[in-house]
Chain A
Amino acid sequence: MINFPVVGKTELAPGIKKLVVEAPSLAAKAKPGQFVVLHLHAQGERIPLTIADFDREEGTITLIFQEVGLTTFQLGSLEPGDTIRDIAGPLGRPSRVDYFGKVLCVGGGVGCAPLYPIARALREQKNDLAAVVGARSREFLILRKEMEQVCSPLIIATDDGSEGLQGTVLRGVEKYFREYGKPDYCVCIGPPVMMEAVCSFTRNYKVKTVVSLNPIMVDGTGMCGACRVVVGGEVKFACVDGPEFDGHLVDWELFRRRLQFYKREEKLALGAFLRKSRSAGER
């Protein structure tokens, strides 16, 4: 199947957008934790994006993303009625959704998007669910209402203190451990530095912590090896063995470094795109 129609669009926060896309077979099979690979048009690149939600009856999937590079900016410029040429998925292994007991969900920035369907599924399994979510400032907090419906308490941390605690999500995690004791299980999705920080904290308490990794990928089906990560001393391909891994076993330094592989080229491509759209706007 090609040419997937965009049927809905919302701006959740400055630069963070939500698209609802018609993709019935994908919606029928998608599970929390899985991702798709998008290829917007013939000249586009392939990028992985976690499935933020799916509606089997409507036959749609939801994508939530932050405009940071060429493809996410192009994706953000799509409007209902436009189409995405290629969407392949659902890829990767689904999240483990069992009864663990007391579960803490930790989301940073746009990482709250893939976290929400996992949290909802964990809630359906009768877990006692709490969450810590963080963002730069109040206006960048996303899916707060949705998270509140399935998690209690919901602890908020913002870098500038405009909402909740001032500081990173780690402050919120510390507060949770202090006030509610240690959880039985933790799911953490956000920027690499944040996931690493949360993992080194939970490691001290021996709380199993699952993270979702989003490395550079090309095909997303186990073919290219660009997404290789080292977990517990073993080479894993995030696209087929993940994207979720035991955060205490991830080689974080390697993971962060490999994300830098194409920084120079990514900047170049984005710059050219932004210049072009700016001059088109002026005209």
Chain B
Amino acid sequence: MAILDPTMRIRTFDEVTLGYTSDQAKREAARCRGCSQAPCRRGCPIGVDIPGFISLVKEGKFREAAQRLRERNTLPAVCGRVCPQDRNCEKHCVLAKKGAPIAIGRLERFVADWEREHGMTVPPTPGSTGKRVAVVGSGPAGLTVAAALARKGHSVTVFEALHAPGGVLSYGIPQFRLPKEVVAAEIDYVCALGVKIELNTPIGKLYSLRDLRREYDAVFLGTGAGLPRLLGIPGEHLNGVYTANEFLTRVNLMKAYLFPEYATPVRVGKRVAVIGGGNVAVDAARVAVRLGAEEVVVLYRRTLVEMPVRAEEYRFACREGVFFRFLVAPLEFRGDAEGWVREVLCTRCELGEVDESGRRRPVPVPGSEFTIPIDTVIVAIGQEPNILALAEVSELLTPSGRFVGADPETGATPVPGVFAGGDLVTGAATVIQAMTAGRRAAKAIDRYLSELE
């Protein structure tokens, strides 16, 4: 698959990977052995019929392939781009043992892009059941629930607090990894199924959960993990220190990279330090490169092995000049007289015992402190659910008060008719995990509605 050259791409926000041509896709699909056991499918959290759609690609039946994908996946153009295939489907491919698994993600993307370019066909929806469902949050979980329930003939309204739908797909993942036109087309498809999206509607503020329960037969909560975690170290509020959420929202949702044509500014200095090791940290680092930073360093307190990043994006970041320093943790940010961050005091770490996350815990090495001169910091150490909007219904929350408690199989909460799924329940995870939760909840909601009378 063609890839934009690193020297070119660091000057633009254009998509890095260019996708297969029809011939490339057919050729790649022809490598698939169509295993009867389909181990790849077991690696897919939403159980896409992978051998099925690939064999249709092989035959050049792209529209049919798209339909096969959409039976289980509402957002194939998104998943084909952002899923961690290296840890899911492709890891289970029998050819992975030889180091060359079928490029399932790229094929998925090809099919979804082909469909978008050739006109999407929206399947007819059954007659209305007369049941009304409110979905709170228009991210991957909410869109999945909405599409699945609309296909069953329920009337679905999605409530979004921001001025654009998509949740993390719009504000979090950068244009060069997930073009917003692609997101918009996937959302158009969901709307074509009959789903209504109400923008600028913060639930808990404009309408309460109580209002929704009165107006709708069932409610799904999928508000994600939008609350940025902070380090809690000195100097974190100096000017020049961003949370990744602020930095990425400015750039992705508000298009600050087009300032002043777009009115939202973003400020990046010559030397940027990103704190963290996940996809968000790597996205932020690559955005900083594109905004003109001369040196971008990612400081991660563990090692590459523990880094929860999509493998391809790590490789791309390295090619784009992002520098990774492992086993390093910040202790303090220091500023100048005007309150702008100027350096970060760090400590080296070594890996100790395995912690509750299943990874070896980083332990600071005494006496190993050193400083790095920087003028911008992006803190990307994770997000937690923003449960403030839901605080009115305390029985929804887990004992810690930080998450919404829901049955992982059905999304059912202790409140009848209220379901939840995605990052709001699990804490920050992947797009595909949120979609899986959405798929399960949609089934349970459909069952719940059919039993209502």
Contact = CB atoms under 8 A, between A and B. Distances in A.
Given A1-B201, A70-B263, A225-B246, A26 B206 contact: yes
A216 to B, nearest CB: 9
Interface string A27-71: 001000000000100011110000000000000000000000011
B202 A89 contact: yes
Nearest to A228: B237
Interface residues of A, number: 43
Of A45, A89, A225, A261, the most chain B CB neighbours within 10 A belong to A225
Interface stretch (B31-39, B226-234, B351-359): B226-234
Interface in A156-195: none
Contacts of A269: 259-260, 263, 265
A257 B264 contact: no
B228 A223 contact: yes
A265 B261 contact: no
Interface of B: 161-163, 171, 198-202, 205-207, 226-228, 230, 232, 237, 239, 242-243, 245-246, 249-250, 254-255, 259-265, 267, 338-339, 386, 388-389
A90 B243 contact: no
Contacts of A26: 206
A230 B207 CA distance: 29
Contacts of B237: 228, 230, 235, 254, 258
17 contacts: A1-B200, A43-B261, A46-B264, A86-B199, A88-B161, A88-B163, A88-B201, A218-B264, A222-B227, A222-B386, A223-B227, A223-B249, A223-B386, A226-B246, A230-B237, A261-B239, A262-B267
A269 B239 CA distance: 20
A260 to B, nearest CB: 7
Specify the main secondary structure of chain B where it touches its partner.
Answer: loop
A268 B264 CA distance: 12
A228 B246 CA distance: 11
A224 interface: yes
Interface string A234-271: 01000010000000000000100110111011101100
A272 interface: yes
Contact of A222 (B201, B206, B226, B339): B226
A142 to B, nearest CB: 26
Given A29-B207, A225-B228, A257-B338, 9 more contacts: A87-B200, A88-B161, A88-B163, A89-B202, A89-B205, A218-B249, A226-B242, A230-B237, A269-B263
B380 to A, nearest CB: 12
Contact of A85 (B163, B205, B227, B232): B163
A127 B348 CA distance: 59
Contacts of B242: 226
Nearest to B339: A257
A221 interface: yes
A25 interface: yes
Contact of B264 (A45, A254, A264): A45
Nearest to B245: A224
A250 to B, nearest CB: 13
Contact of B206 (A46, A90, A257, A272): A90
A265 B250 CA distance: 13
Contacts of A222: 226-227, 386, 388
A106 interface: no
A280 interface: no
Given A221-B386, A230-B237, A29 B163 contact: no
Contact of A86 (B163, B171, B338, B388): B163
A91 interface: yes
A61 to B, nearest CB: 12
B202 A91 contact: yes
A128 interface: no
Contacts of A264: 267
Nearest to A241: B388
A254 B261 CA distance: 30
Interface string A197-217: 000000000000000000000
A29 B245 contact: no
A106 to B, nearest CB: 27
Contacts of B264: 45-46, 218
A223 B245 contact: yes
A85 to B, nearest CB: 7
A16 to B, nearest CB: 21
For the complex of A and B, the 5 pairs showing the least CB-CB separation, nearest first, are A265-B265, A86-B163, A224-B246, A45-B263, A225-B243
